[in-house]
Amino acid sequence: MRTQELVERPHSVDVPEEMQGSVYHQEGNTYGSKKFYIESYGCQMNFSDSEIVASILSKEGYSSTADIFEADLVLINTCSVREKAEDTIRKRLEYYKQVKKTNKDMLVGVLGCMAERMKKALLEEEKLVDIVVGPDAYRDLPNLISRSAEGSRQINVLLSREETYADISPVRLDSNGVSAFISIMRGCDNMCSFCVVPFTRGRERSRDAHSIVSEAQDLFNNGYREVTLLGQNVDSYKWKSADGNEHVNFAELLEMVAKINPLLRIRFSTSHPKDITDDVLYTMAKYENICKYIHLPVQSGSSRILRLMNRTYDADWYRSKVNRIYEIMPDCAISSDIIAGFCTETEEEHRESVKMIDFAKYTMSYMFYYSERPGTPAAKKLPDDIPNEVKIRRLNEIIEKQREVSAAVNKQDEGKTFKILIDGLSKKSDSQMKGRTTQNKVVVFDIHPYYKIGDYAMVKITGSTTATLFGEIIPEKN
């Protein structure tokens, strides 16, 4: 079942095709007598977690379904980043409640960040769900389901300092058979004042490096040609063996995965500016199959606002990091996250964020206006004092500037030829295929008889918009 938009996404400039959906279902399987239905919202980590949950359930005899009305178990993997996202999920839970009237034995569970943050309200006050499971408790799902089926509501939101799910082989959900996510670490130790993640996902812990390489190797052996290494802050990845004799940092992990095969592309997300090192940049430059693209959230162009956000860098330091990336990899693309209307932000500070887009030449950005999240340091200590209409106006100005910059950097690609990994058909035309450049730019081109999904192709760029490149295949096959 294909994706559909059911939750507000961050604003980005003409969001590329493969980033438009936020609800995934696994295609129906034939094994198992019990059926589960799962929806995922929010960041890529949530989608990766849903694949772990699907694996756990499959071992319990469950098969997936895209039809909620035939499901024995309905799960929603949630996001707490913005209030609007939580409101939308509540509406979805109300819908499940209505569906349950036609199937009284159906169990409803909430997974992920919203489960951790709103456990009491979901279970006791509103009674919308039967099961609440936090991000570190998915192994306990079979027990929770069994007890819930006996009539009692169940909860496990305990956070862990050890859980990485390294031994679980994910069931790939709604996969194109070309690209896959690999979770390399969990949690976050960065206490950004606006963010709920450290409270909902716990402390950082890194997964065994060899299990990551093994998973990537298995994916390649099964026809996948691109993996994205995931973490809240991948650059702080640090793993050591139980005997203490082996240490692996993120640059070393990148190299280990890159050496699997030159035909396997490697991407990663997300980077924190304070942690991305020259070693990582030089490793990226060394290997052609490590994509030349870095998502480097700035959040604000104002040094004062960055201090209030507890980002641990100022605007000048961030600009120096951008310069260093372009110095080592002139062909690298950078994208960002930007928050408009953070606490006490002035008009001049807002303009500094707009100017940062010009300076960094972001290919795209995820752009939000500030949404206060209960329990965060900002909610406790800083006044949410920017009127909503001002936030929206500032956000629109940021969006317009990003459109302008995106259009300009894409225009510069016209006439160039890029190596594209073909990952699917265009959603707008069955006569066209799509893929991405190493810089993560979506390219759409006419189907060619010698090329299929999963192949690499050299594509000459003939046109562009703010989010998409258009081109034609330059055949290399006879």
Radius of gyration of the chain (CA): 22
Please check whether residue 152 lies inside any domain of the structure: yes
DSSP string of 284-324?
HHH-TTB-SEEE---B-S-HHHHHHHT-S--HHHHHHHHHH
Quick: pLDDT tens for 201-255.
889 999 999 999 999 999 999 999 999 999 999 999 999 999 999 999 999 999 9
The mean-pLDDT minimum among 138-152, 207-221, 299-313, 435-449 falls in 138-152
Question: Are residues 304 and 370 located together in one domain of the fold?
Answer: yes
Kindly tell me if the per-residue pLDDT of 410 is higher than 60: yes
431 lies in the same domain as 390: no
CB-CB contact of 128 with 95 (8 Å): no
For the chain, give the percent of residues with pLDDT over 90.
72
pLDDT at 113: 81
Which of these three, 141, 156, 171, is where a domain ends?
156
Mean pLDDT value of segment 9-15: 40
The tens digit of pLDDT for each residue in 344-388 reads 999 999 999 999 999 999 999 999 999 998 889 999 999 999 999
Domain coverage including residue 317: 179-411
pLDDT in tens, 44-87: 888 899 999 999 999 999 999 989 999 999 999 887 777 777 78
> Does one domain contain both 35 and 184?
no
* Model pLDDT, residue 447: 96
CA dist., res. 221 & res. 257, Å (int): 13
> Which domain-ending residue is among 411, 437, 456?
411
User: CA dist 44 to 1, 124, 230, 275, 470, Å?
Assistant: 18, 29, 7, 20, 26
First-to-final CA distance of the chain? 36
Domain membership of residue 4 (yes or no) is: no
User: Does residue 7 form part of some domain?
Assistant: no
What pLDDT, on a 0 to 100 scale, did the predictor assign at position 276? 96
In the block, tokens 């000048």 appear at 316
Domain endpoint, select from 411, 427, 443: 411
Q: Give the pLDDT confidence score for residue 477 in this predicted structure.
A: 55
Ranked by mean pLDDT, which of 88-92, 100-104, 227-231 comes out on top? 227-231
Tokens of residue 29, six digits:
């399987």
Is residue 8 over pLDDT 80?
no
Look at 469 and 104; give whichever has higher pLDDT. 469
Q: Supply the mean pLDDT for the chain.
A: 89
Residue 211 located in a structural domain: yes
Q: Looking at residue 16, what is its pLDDT?
A: 34
**What would the mean pLDDT of 395-412 be, rounded to a whole number?**
98
Asked if residue 28 and residue 141 are part of one domain, the reply reads yes
Same domain for 264 and 150, yes or no, is no
Q: What share of the chain is helix, strand, coil (3-state, %, to 5)?
A: 35, 20, 45
Q: Assess whether 203 and 305 both reside in one domain.
A: yes
Greater model confidence, 290 or 5 = 290
Domain assignment present for 11? no
Kind plus residue range of the DSSP H or E element containing 226 = strand 226-230
Which two tokens mark 32? 């198992």
Tell me how many domains the chain contains: 3
Instruction: Mark whether 231 and 95 lie in a shared domain.
Output: no
Whether 104 is in a domain gets the answer yes
Q: Are residues 334 and 398 in the same domain?
A: yes
pLDDT at 11 over 60: no
Residues 240 and 380 occupy one common structural domain: yes
Same domain as 134, residue 213: no
Q: What are the tens digits of pLDDT across the range 309-346?
A: 999 999 999 999 999 999 999 999 999 999 999 999 99
Candidates 93, 162, 105; CA nearest to 129 is: 93
Domain holding 373: CATH number?
3.80.30.20
Report yes or no on 229 lying in a domain: yes
Each residue's pLDDT tens digit, 449-460:
999 999 999 999
| pLDDT interval class at 2 (50, 70, 90) | very low
Helices 388-411 and 347-360, packing angle to 10 deg = 20
The answer to whether position 6 is within a domain reads no
Residue 6 pLDDT > 70, yes or no? Answer: no
Residue-level pLDDT at 175: 77
Give, in degrees to the nearest 5, the angle at Cα 139 between 135 and 145. 100
DSSP, collapsed to helix, strand or coil, labels residue 383 as coil
**CATH code (residue 58):** 3.40.50.12160
| Residue 43: per-residue pLDDT | 81
Residues 215 and 346 in one domain: yes
Contacts 24+ apart (CB under 8 A), 125-128: 127/153, 128/90, 128/93, 128/94, 128/96, 128/97
Phi, psi of 471 (to 5 degrees): -155, -170
Are residue 233 and residue 375 in the same domain, yes or no?
Answer: yes
CB atoms within 10 A of CB 28: 13
Tell me what pLDDT residue 449 has: 92
pLDDT of 20 > 50? The answer is no
User: What is the rounded average pLDDT of the residues 417-433?
Assistant: 94
pLDDT the model gives residue 351: 98
Q: Looking up tokens 């690999």, which residue turns up?
A: 182
| pLDDT above 80: residue 31 | no
- Per-residue pLDDT band for 30 (boundaries 50, 70, 90) equals very low
pLDDT for 125 equals: 60
* CATH, residue 465: 2.40.50.140
What pLDDT band is residue 126 in, cutting at 50, 70 and 90? low
For residues 203 and 198, what is the distance between their CA atoms, to the nearest angstrom?
Answer: 6
